[in-house]
């Protein structure tokens, strides 16, 4: 793991910047096919494409850094000196980034790569270090492996509601990625982890990227922040359900050592006590479906006392789940352990009568005052295009919920609404038939939801241009469809509330 040395971190940052070691810079080093192979954990195509230039002494500084820290291959001292002139080989050794091998060779000790993102503040680029992956190590991961930015990390960072916070908490910070993201909105951040190695990485990454408002605390779950409250909590906790069998490794980065989904339950249940009134928690998790019952109903019980919006994005059956997580650690079908671990997972699931495991995200809020008003537990496939992530959409939905919760139907009828610019309408009709048999409203951003609408609701949405009040549109539609306006309003307004919450419609003022 890297060693944080204040005197060396600025030269390193300057070197990485001067080398053009950026996401685009690295992508341009090899073909798309080689890049795709890398994402499938095969480095050979990229290695071959860089090798010729390297042998001719023509590899750029970014190429050398990618060769070393992304592909996990060795370089000569002269090569590293050329790529990191301010840091130098001595500096890189001092920072614990490389180790000397025989005859002038240096091998990487960490994975270090550029990371680009767009959020509510704007676009930015960082460098993030983590433990070397399977590809560079050539073997399965160690139990104390510190993970880099994976799919779940990006899911959570994209969800972060871009809301100013006085104090924020990242529980289970790993390489520090969520803490660094939330630090863009928060006055100060506390980042915790049970792994001292993870905290070393996280502190190094924050310093490398010039982020100074994060405090790093060692300890399990909420222990390091006992009695403290935060405006914003984020956590990608070690939620992976793992059989408690001696030979199945307990990977610290993904498994908190509890049975079943108990770790997620504990994090969810303990979150409320650590939120300021009105504070928000955003968590990822897995939950079990036991004895044929809906897993979301179990999650509902964990969230008592809080506003809760839980989105289940994926559902895997028990064997699929086992296969996913056995492979994740680098164990493949055909390896000696594979079948035994598979059996251990199935035995573990059978013990609690688990047939499915849900994955998704929880947005929890401690009510500013009074009882919770939001309880939404749903399965949604996310297909919306959101350049800056889903965070702004979630924020808008919470604000819409609060406004709607305080509105009677009469007040809603008096409001003027506008259809969002990303909404399109799809109509299907039988050949030759003038009237549509199916109308579907599609959302381009947000969750990319599709909603089936009857002609009255489609007509309502189509008329929402901010000119007429909702009630006036209902009256006009009642005349067109020759129905009672009161009855039509009673039918449409719940659907209108749903469309406002989900972002198809917004308030004109």
Ligand X SMILES: C[S@@+](CC[C@H](N)C(=O)[O-])C[C@H]1O[C@@H](n2cnc3c(N)ncnc32)[C@H](O)[C@@H]1O
Q: Which of 18, 135, 194, 388 binds ligand X (CB under 6 A)?
A: 194
Q: Please give the C-alpha separations between residue 135 and each of 40, 82, 111, 144, in angstroms, as whole numbers.
A: 10, 25, 11, 17
Q: Which is nearer to ligand X, 220 or 452 (CB)?
A: 220
Cα–Cα distance, 191 to 390 (Å, whole number): 22
Q: Which of 177, 207, 397, 451 binds ligand X (CB under 6 A)?
A: 177
Query: Does residue 389 touch ligand X according to CB under 6 A?
Result: no
Cβ of 493: how many Cβ atoms within 10 Å? Answer: 18
Per the DSSP assignment, residues forming a β-bridge with 123 are: 118
Q: Please give the C-alpha separations between residue 252 and each of 130, 198, 258, 457, in angstroms, as whole numbers.
A: 14, 10, 12, 50
Total site size for ligand X, rule CB under 6 A: 22
Residue that the structure tokens 């916070």 belong to: 165
Q: Which is nearer to ligand X, 34 or 221 (CB)?
A: 221
CB of 155 to ligand X, least distance (A): 9
Which x/- pattern over 240-279 shows residues binding ligand X (rule: CB under 6 A)?
A: ------------xxx-x-----------------------
Q: Which is nearer to ligand X, 221 or 492 (CB)?
A: 221
Among residues 15, 146, 156, the alpha carbon closest in space to that of 80 is found at 15
Choose the binding region for ligand X from 108-116, 170-178, 321-329, 337-345 (rule: CB under 6 A): 170-178
- Residue 409's Cβ-count burial label (10 Å; 0-12, 13-18, 19+) is middle
Cα–Cα distance, 85 to 61 (Å, whole number): 10
Cα–Cα distance, 317 to 329 (Å, whole number): 19
State the DSSP code for 239. B
Distance in Å from the first CA to the final CA of the chain? 53
Query: Does residue 360 touch ligand X according to CB under 6 A?
Result: no
Q: Which is nearer to ligand X, 220 or 424 (CB)?
A: 220
Query: Does residue 198 touch ligand X according to CB under 6 A?
Result: yes
Q: Which is nearer to ligand X, 159 or 344 (CB)?
A: 159
Query: Does residue 286 touch ligand X according to CB under 6 A?
Result: no
Choose the binding region for ligand X from 70-78, 190-198, 314-322, 401-409 (rule: CB under 6 A): 190-198
Q: Which of 60, 64, 129, 178 binds ligand X (CB under 6 A)?
A: 178
Q: What are phi and psi of 167, to 5 degrees?
A: -130, 135
Query: Does residue 232 touch ligand X according to CB under 6 A?
Result: no
Query: Does residue 156 touch ligand X according to CB under 6 A?
Result: yes
Contact set with ligand X (CB under 6 A)? 147, 153, 156, 172-174, 177-178, 192-195, 198, 220-221, 236-238, 252-254, 256
């Amino acid at each position: 793991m890297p060693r944080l040395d204040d005197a060396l971190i600025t030269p390193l940052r300057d070197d990485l910047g001067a080398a053009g070691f950026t996401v685009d810079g690295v992508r341009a080093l090899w073909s798309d096919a080689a890049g795709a192979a890398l994402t499938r954990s095969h480095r050979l195509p990229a290695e071959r494409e860089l090798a010729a230039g390297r042998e001719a002494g023509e590899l750029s500084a970014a190429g050398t850094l990618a060769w070393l820290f992304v592909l996990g291959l060795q370089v000569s001292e002269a090569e590293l000196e050329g790529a990191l002139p301010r840091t130098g080989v001595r500096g890189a050794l001092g920072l614990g980034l490389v180790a000397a091998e025989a005859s002038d060779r240096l091998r990487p000790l960490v994975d270090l790569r550029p990371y680009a993102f767009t959020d509510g503040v704007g676009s930015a680029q960082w460098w993030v270090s983590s433990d070397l992956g399977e590809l560079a190590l050539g073997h399965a991961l160690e139990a104390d492996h510190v993970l880099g930015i994976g799919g779940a990390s990006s899911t959570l960072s994209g969800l972060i509601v871009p809301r100013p916070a006085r104090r924020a908490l990242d529980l289970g910070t790993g390489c520090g990625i969520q803490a660094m993201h939330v630090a863009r909105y928060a006055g100060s951040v506390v980042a915790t982890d049970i792994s001292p190695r993870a905290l070393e990485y996280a502190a190094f990454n924050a310093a490398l990227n010039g982020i100074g408002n994060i405090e790093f605390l060692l300890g399990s779950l909420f222990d390091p922040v006992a009695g403290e409250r935060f405006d914003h909590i984020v956590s990608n906790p070690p939620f992976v359900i793992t059989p408690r069998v001696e030979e199945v490794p307990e990977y610290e980065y993904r498994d908190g050592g509890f049975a079943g989904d108990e770790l997620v339950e504990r994090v969810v249940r303990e979150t409320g006590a650590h939120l300021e009134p009105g504070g928000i928690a955003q968590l990822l998790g897995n939950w079990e479906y036991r004895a044929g019952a809906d897993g979301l109903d179990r999650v509902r019980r964990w969230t008592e006392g809080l506003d809760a919006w839980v989105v289940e994005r994926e559902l895997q059956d028990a064997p699929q789940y086992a296969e996913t997580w056995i492979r994740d650690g680098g164990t493949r079908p055909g390896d000696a352990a594979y079948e035994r671990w598979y059996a251990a997972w199935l035995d573990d699931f059978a013990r609690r009568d688990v047939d499915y495991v849900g994955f998704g995200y929880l947005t929890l809020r401690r009510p500013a005052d009074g009882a919770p008003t939001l309880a939404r537990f749903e399965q949604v496939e996310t297909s919306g295009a959101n350049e800056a992530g889903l965070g702004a959409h979630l924020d808008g939905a919470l604000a819409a919920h609060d406004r709607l919760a305080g509105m009677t139907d009469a007040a809603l009828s008096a409001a003027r609404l506008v259809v969002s610019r990303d909404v399109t309408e799809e109509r299907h009709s039988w050949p030759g038939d003038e009237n549509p048999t199916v109308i579907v409203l599609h959302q381009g951003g947000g969750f990319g939801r599709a909603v089936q609408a009857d002609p009255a609701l489609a007509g309502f949405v189509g008329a929402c241009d901010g000119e007429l009040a909702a009630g006036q549109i209902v009256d006009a539609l009642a005349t067109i469809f020759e129905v009672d306006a009161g009855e039509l309003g009673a039918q449409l307004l719940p659907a209108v509330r749903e469309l406002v919450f989900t972002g198809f419609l917004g308030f004109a003022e």
